Structure 1
Amino acid sequence: MTDDEVDAFLAEQRTCRVATVALTGPHVTPLWFAWHAGFLWLTSITRSQRWADLQRDPRIAVVVDTGETYGELRGVELRGRAEVVGEVPRTGEPHPELEAVEQVFADRYTGGVVDRDGRHAWLRLKPEKIVSWDFRKLPMDRR
């Protein structure tokens, strides 16, 4: 995919799979996300295995994909390090970086209502590597 196609794809998809490094090996969980200003934003329960993993080792891989048949498959893998943004857990302390992100997330998932529940906190992934695929672009004889 082109950079513009990656941006559009990440803006339209709703669920990602987040891989962290647990003490016992890889740990993968689905999450909702926001793609905003070149960052992948995740909100995570601070008392989760994922959160514990990332506090110990911030390396993260995220996959967003879609498609039913081989010729429809497309997706994006993002790799990098997660960093905490804002207070932990998030209760609503003003934070300029989070204002737009929280609204993008709320518009996408909660009907525009920003929910700062005191159990979640924000993680930001600035991708160090992005890999994408779009099998719809394959010639018909290769699908």
Structure 2
Amino acid sequence: MDETRPAGPQRRGRRIMMTDEEVDAFLREQRTCRVATVSPDGRPHVGALWFAWDGSSLWLYSITRSRRWSDLREDPRISVVVDSGEAYGELRGVELSGSAVFVGEAPRTGEPCPELAEAERIFPVKNFGLDEMPHDGRHAWIRLTPESVVSWDFRKL
């Protein structure tokens, strides 16, 4: 995962930075992320969404008629935060940034798409408790392979 880190090491908060292994484990266990996009007129938009992490990419199953989807169609820049903790000393999280890539048909109907095999194996088990990915004709896949990753774990203080 080192190739997804920003150029040079994370400067601020080196003491509380997660290792690559900790980032991977954290992203595999968490369910909800906050997705930030920018609309054509420059207005930011942030919304919560379930996700799956395959070890190198974050997979978002988004409604294709959402503001998030239309924002990313115009401008693929995306930033996602996954965090947890209530008390200050429990706070930890990961921010991933890069460009969104649309994968598969939109909306997704379940047509064969080898690139989606892993995401559609992980996502339904993690988020629905199902062995197979349900397709409702309203959602489709967005992949974020991060260009930068910043992490924090205040439990290390």
Normalising by the smaller structure, the TM-score range is over 0.9
Pick the aligned partner of 1:118 from 115, 131, 137. 137
Q: How many residues align?
A: 138
SS at match of 1:103: helix
**Structure with a larger share of its residues in strand:** 1
Secondary structure of the residue aligned to 2:38 is strand
Q: Distance in 2 between the 1:74 and 1:26 partners?
A: 24
CA–CA separation in structure 2 for the residues paired with 1:24 and 1:83: 20
TM-score (norm 2): 0.86
Q: CA deviation at 1:37?
A: 3.4
CA–CA distance in structure 2, aligned partners of residues 114 and 106 of structure 1: 5
Q: Secondary structure at the match of 1:117?
A: coil
Aligned to 1:4: 21
What CA distance in whole angstroms lies between the structure 2 residues aligned with 1:110 and 1:12?
A: 14
- TM-aligned CA deviation for residue 103 of structure 1: 1.6
Alpha-carbon distance between aligned partners in 1 of 2:29 and 2:104, rounded to the nearest angstrom: 25
The gaps in structure 1 that reach 5 residues or longer are 139-143
Check if 1:91 corresponds to 2:109: yes
Root mean square deviation, CA, Å: 0.8
Q: Which secondary structure does the structure 2 equivalent of 1:64 belong to?
A: strand
Aligned partners of 1:3, 1:41: CA distance in 2, in Å? 18
- 2:151 aligned with 1:132: yes
Aligned-partner residue type, residue 20 of structure 1 = T
Does the 8 A contact of 2:24 with 2:55 survive in 1? no
1:82-138 superposed Cα distances (whole Å, 9 cap, x missing partner): 000001110011001112211200001112231111111100001000000000001
Q: Secondary structure at the match of 1:136?
A: helix
1:80 aligned partner, one-letter code: G
Which structure exhibits the higher relative contact order, with contacts defined as CA atoms closer than 8 Å and separated by 6 or more residues? 2
Structure 2: distance between partners of 1:36 and 1:75:
17
State the distance in 1 between where 2:79 and 2:88 align: 23
Alpha-carbon distance in structure 2 between the residues aligned to 1:115 and 1:104: 12
- The answer to whether structure 1 residue 13 and structure 2 residue 30 are counterparts is yes
How high is the sequence identity, in percent, across the aligned residues? 67
Rounded to whole Å, the distance in 2 between the matches of 1:2 and 1:111 is: 29
Deviation at 1:29, TM superposition (A): 0.2
Aligned to 1:70: 88
TM-score scaled to structure 1, two decimals?
0.94
Are 2:68 and 1:46 aligned?
Answer: no
Q: Report the Cα distance in structure 1 between the residues aligned to 2:148 and 2:55, rounded to whole angstroms.
A: 16
